[in-house]
A and B are shown apart, each in its own frame.
Chain A
């Protein structure tokens, strides 16, 4: 058990841990409520627990079953998986070389290139000018419109660059003296040492693709291409009978349960990936954000 040096310490710990518990409950209760709603069967009368508890014999996974067997839901799920997989691959294939190049101190023009990309990070001319480019390139109604305009994040590039810079210079120098070209240094020395940062940045990219909501609304008119967050928004905004999913009838699950199940199913990959993401919340990764 915990031991305290004094009453002062004891009172302080009560205060601190009481606060932590409050924060924990404020985060967990809304999520718990969504879980409970998703398994509420039709005609369930609330027993005064505000939907926080449901008797075990009243559980129903009908809502999950309805969604997971519906072609529209499955198609959106497939679209989202495709966007996340292809998008993240493109992100990394562009970010890693750029970050590596900018981390080479002897590269002529290095500062110029850094300025070139940093300016785009600091100055954002707004939505319409990019919209015109995407339209002009004929990317509308293709996944390229969702993936390509955000192919490189300047922030992620700079974080990765500072990681590369932090790798022991001796290793790179030794390889160079052995006659390795810069490309060989990247492939043989840098990449094997950079698994953590590549995984971390890759996961940040994947999360942002998975959560992508606005770009699909902006560029994808074809309902066949709709990714999961857009479908989920449509489900959430529909009242009663779900016109967006073109269901004939939601016979056995209430719309609230369908909505909650949709939220949970969309969350699921994030929650499943989360332990891995969290493993890489290292100080190094994050302190790259603020340059000392």
Chain B
């Protein structure tokens, strides 16, 4: 019985490799036995799976209100169906372009500016022969990743507030007028992108460092013997060695391009900078929760979710095709 249970293939792989052809009846019996044998495991999974049903699949069912005129008193199912009206409202509205534009600006800028910096920092950490500086920088650069955006908002105030921020004190000492960086439409995007780079660059070096450490050191030695300079070694060994990781990370970031950083913007933005700072997610929150436009906000959330699903599906496919790695 033990052997049957262990050699019987899992049902869904489709790769049945029996020693002798099994009849349909034998297969069902084997499957039944395998299921019975794992009954304790299914019990173990019951609660976790219930979590997904309640907090992931029930919301999925609720997305039907995107096509309905949802009334809380009527409930999700009984609210009248109105088709694609909410989607049309959103696409035709003036804020559609603005929200999509802001969302893309933030996520593309964070990617284009943050990624090369992370690669350069990883290379610098890898190449430095000054162990102490290397370790201290690495440790400190990882730290901001673990700080919440509220804390970083506090740090930003210490630097940027017009009254007592360090940068503004410098501007004032130089004879200039203080700048309200966090509430000025001219500066808000810079603050958002800069603070994201400050928070995440260190942490994102980890994956590149792991890739650098897995390059065969013999390659570097051979290149050194052949007289390659340090920069030549980086260009011809290190960078090609981590290229596949760079490609995977970039593709997966592109797959999440509509996630511009809700947690960050939600903490940092304010009414004066809505025009340059409002992204799809913050708008969904305001319309859906604060303005009670449940159906409209759900339609926009669904639109974003479907684009996200499509993008991540294809970027994962491309990543796997190009490098053999993906997230699933």
Contact = CB atoms under 8 A, between A and B. Distances in A.
B45 A283 contact: no
A230 B62 CA distance: 29
B284 A128 contact: yes
A151 B55 contact: yes
Interface string A94-118: 1101101100111111111100111
B75 to A, nearest CB: 9
Contacts, number: 299
Given A17-B133, A233-B267, A236-B153, A183 B60 contact: no
A8 B308 CA distance: 47
Contacts of B11: 108-109
B124 interface: yes
B45 A132 contact: no
B325 A290 contact: yes
B contact face: mostly helix, strand, loop, or mixed: helix
A28 B129 contact: no
Interface residues of B, number: 108
A8 B230 contact: yes
Contact of A126 (B128, B137, B297): B297
Interface string B182-214: 000000000000000010001000110010010
Nearest to A8: B229
Given A8-B229, A8-B230, A213-B150, A2 B173 contact: no
B119 interface: no
B197 to A, nearest CB: 10
Interface stretch (A56-64, A68-76, A191-199, A265-273): A265-273
Contact of B157 (A259, A270, A290): A259
B303 to A, nearest CB: 9
A91 B40 CA distance: 20
Nearest to A229: B150
A117 B51 CA distance: 10
25 contacts: A13-B130, A21-B137, A50-B170, A50-B173, A52-B166, A100-B44, A108-B10, A108-B34, A111-B12, A123-B305, A127-B285, A129-B62, A133-B54, A149-B55, A152-B52, A211-B150, A213-B267, A233-B267, A259-B158, A263-B151, A263-B158, A274-B146, A278-B139, A281-B142, A290-B248
Given A109-B11, A109-B12, A232-B154, 10 more contacts: A12-B127, A24-B136, A46-B169, A97-B44, A110-B10, A130-B55, A158-B328, A229-B148, A256-B163, A259-B154
Interface of B: 2, 5-6, 8, 10-13, 31, 34-35, 38, 40-42, 44-45, 47-49, 51-52, 54-63, 65, 76, 120-121, 124-125, 127-130, 133-134, 136-137, 139-144, 146-151, 153-155, 157-159, 163-164, 166, 169-170, 173, 198, 202, 206-207, 210, 213, 229-231, 245, 248, 262-263, 266-267, 281, 284-285, 288-289, 294, 297-298, 300-302, 304-306, 308-309, 312-313, 324-328
